[in-house]
Amino acid sequence: MANKLRSNHRQIIIYDTTLRDGSQTEGVSFTVNDKLKITEKLDQFGVHYIEGGWPGSNPKDKDYFKDVQSLKLKNAKIAAFGSTRRVKIKASEDVNLVELVKSKAPTITIFGKCWDLHVTDVIRTTLAENLEMIADSVGYLKKNKREVFFDAEHFFDGYRNNPDYALKAIQAAEQAGADCIVLCDTNGGTLPSQVRSIIEEVKKHVKAPLGIHAHNDIDMGVANSIAAIEAGCNHVQGTFNGLGERCGNANLCTIIGILATKLNLKSIPERNLENMKQVAYYVSEISNSALKDNAAFVGHSAFTHKAGVHIDAVIKNPLAYEHSDPVFVGNHRRFIASELAGKMPILIKAQKMNVDLDKKSPEAKKILEELQVKENNGYQFEAADASFELFVKRSLQKYPPFFKLEGFKVSSEKRFDGKIFAEASVRLKVKSEELFCAAEGDGPVDSLDKALRQALTKFYPRLKEMHLSDYKVRVLDTKDGTAAKVRVLIESQDETDTWTTVGVHENIIEASWEALTDSIEYKLLKDKKK
């Protein structure tokens, strides 16, 4: 089921604002080095514009625009972001506009007010003065030989409230020489049908190229972006993984996927689409913001099948339950084990290991019986795909262990000053060498993780690429009280993927150790395939 892009030759410009709008996500803070790394990754992917930040607002963004000059970008133009001049001063005297020029960014995006409510109630000036601010600011930047994009802030709200004035605002930018007028759904509350009808009307009054910048406050960011493109916009702004303030911005991963697989429109080079999942995880890794498992196109579960009926149908013809070929966007098909799936996931895992396992074979029967025993004991493999793969491979003796545990010890201490910390030590045998390592951590699992990595990194340096991204504990039978079994799920992530492992035991440390070692062993096995 290969997706081949049959383009109608229309080019959609991808403008990424992860480093600016995305950095406004609660809990996300990029260093200058983070921003430079993401810039290089987005450039390699083929994004056309990368908005680096607002040089007039903070020293970090000034440093970024200075340092980005040394990068040898092949595909992307760097854009600096700012606002129109302040009230009642010349554009050439406005500090923010001067800083935009000093940034040396070849493209400058400025926002201006298009909703009369913002003009009168927020910046508190006259409607006429606001139009002069837009024209003066765009004109000043054009005189400084910059490509200028005008972000028409709150355009859709403004148009619904006062269409004549909203049009005058973008016409002022157009007449001053703006290279693209970007219509912004800043509050994220517009519906796709409204976006389409408003843009169709705008096109009657504006000849400049149009773009869309949608927020996701009612979960319509992508839908509104697609509606705008279908209505004639050839420039789309958004962030990777939908990062952004409040509910986020339109997700560029989903938009790019839809452009390629549903609309047959060019955006990034087709040959680069297979890297999209990797880029999404890379941004997730650096932003320390988990990528949702059910994210369209790139999520871990986007092409995952659980029900036996679904699995059987997809094996016969993937089109039965998949809208697109996962390989086209760098993802892959997964079948997960559960009481609904029977032997099928086991057989498929075996096939991937080049093992021809028949449904009626003794091996298949044995593995299924062992699986049922584990599930009866509280294991939940449908939520721990990595542990399931290791379980099958161990049962079939398909790989030698990477290390052998000789023993571990964990202790926790609360000091007189109230500080609580944990200490763990591990004894391992790796390739006939015995190792002992100890480490301190915030808790027992953290200290065990650190001690284990410390011991193994000498032999497996790529373990530095991964980290634990989530940790969940569930008591399986509350009537047993403190003697109850617990199930621990650990989610781990590296720059290209995420995986989940499970451990079950009456002792929470032992359950955590099982999930932790599975996580590391899966990473080592995954890297061995490369």
* DSSP of 154-170: THHHHHHH-HHHHHHHH
**pLDDT value at residue 352:** 65
The more confident residue out of 7 and 28 is 28
Where residue 182 falls among pLDDT bands split at 50, 70, 90? very high
**pLDDT value at residue 353:** 60
> Alpha-carbon Rg of the chain, whole angstroms?
27
Question: What integer is the mean pLDDT of 386-412?
Answer: 87
Biggest CA pair distance of the chain: 84
Question: What integer is the mean pLDDT of 210-233?
Answer: 98
In angstroms, the CA 504 to CA 513 distance is: 10
**pLDDT value at residue 153:** 97
Asked if residue 364 lies in contact with residue 358, where contact means CB atoms within 8 angstroms, the answer is yes
Q: What percent of the chain has pLDDT over 90?
A: 65
SS3 of residue 512 by DSSP: helix
In angstroms, the CA 197 to CA 180 distance is: 19
In angstroms, the CA 430 to CA 401 distance is: 9
User: How many CB atoms within 10 Å of residue 165?
Assistant: 18
Strands 420-430 and 467-475: unpaired
The two counts, helices (H) then strands (E), for the chain are 17, 16
Q: What is the pLDDT of residues 76-86, one digit of tens each?
A: 999 999 999 99
**pLDDT value at residue 339:** 46
Place of tokens 């809208």: 323
Strands 77-83 and 49-53: parallel
Q: What is the pLDDT of residues 422-445, one digit of tens each?
A: 999 999 999 889 999 999 998 899
**pLDDT value at residue 288:** 81
SS3 of residue 239 by DSSP: strand
Question: What integer is the mean pLDDT of 495-520?
Answer: 92
Asked if residue 255 lies in contact with residue 262, where contact means CB atoms within 8 angstroms, the answer is no
Question: What integer is the mean pLDDT of 303-319?
Answer: 79
Res 485 pLDDT > 50: yes
Question: What integer is the mean pLDDT of 485-500?
Answer: 88
Question: What integer is the mean pLDDT of 171-181?
Answer: 98
Angle at the Cα of 44 from the Cα atoms of 39 and 45, rounded to 5 degrees: 100
Structure tokens at 72: 């040898």
Question: What integer is the mean pLDDT of 520-530?
Answer: 87
The more confident residue out of 395 and 424 is 424
Where residue 334 falls among pLDDT bands split at 50, 70, 90? confident
Lowest mean pLDDT among 26-30, 308-312, 331-335, 374-378: 308-312
Question: What integer is the mean pLDDT of 454-478?
Answer: 87
Q: What is the CATH code for 13-287?
A: 3.20.20.70
Domain ranges of the chain: 13-287
Q: What is the pLDDT of residues 258-275, one digit of tens each?
A: 999 999 999 999 999 999
Element (H, E) at 519: helix 508-529
Report the 3 state secondary structure along 54-103: CCCCCHHHHHHHHHHHHCCCCCCEEEEEEECCCCCCCHHHCHHHHHHHHC
Where residue 340 falls among pLDDT bands split at 50, 70, 90? very low
Where residue 318 falls among pLDDT bands split at 50, 70, 90? confident
Where residue 342 falls among pLDDT bands split at 50, 70, 90? low
Where residue 472 falls among pLDDT bands split at 50, 70, 90? confident
Question: What integer is the mean pLDDT of 195-223?
Answer: 98
In angstroms, the CA 236 to CA 241 distance is: 15
- Mark 425-440 as b/e (b = at least 16 C-beta within 10 Å): bbbbebeeeebebebe
In angstroms, the CA 221 to CA 215 distance is: 5
Where residue 528 falls among pLDDT bands split at 50, 70, 90? confident
**Contacts with 385 (C-beta within 8 Å, 6 or more apart), sequence order:** 334, 336, 499, 500
Q: What percent of the chain has pLDDT over 70?
A: 92
Question: What integer is the mean pLDDT of 357-380?
Answer: 76
Res 477 pLDDT > 90: no
Question: What integer is the mean pLDDT of 362-376?
Answer: 77
Lowest mean pLDDT among 29-38, 78-87, 243-252, 279-288: 279-288
Question: What integer is the mean pLDDT of 403-411?
Answer: 92
Element (H, E) at 182: strand 180-185
Where residue 365 falls among pLDDT bands split at 50, 70, 90? confident
**Mean per-residue pLDDT over the chain, rounded:** 90
Nearest alpha-carbon partner for 52 in 107, 101, 5, 3: 107
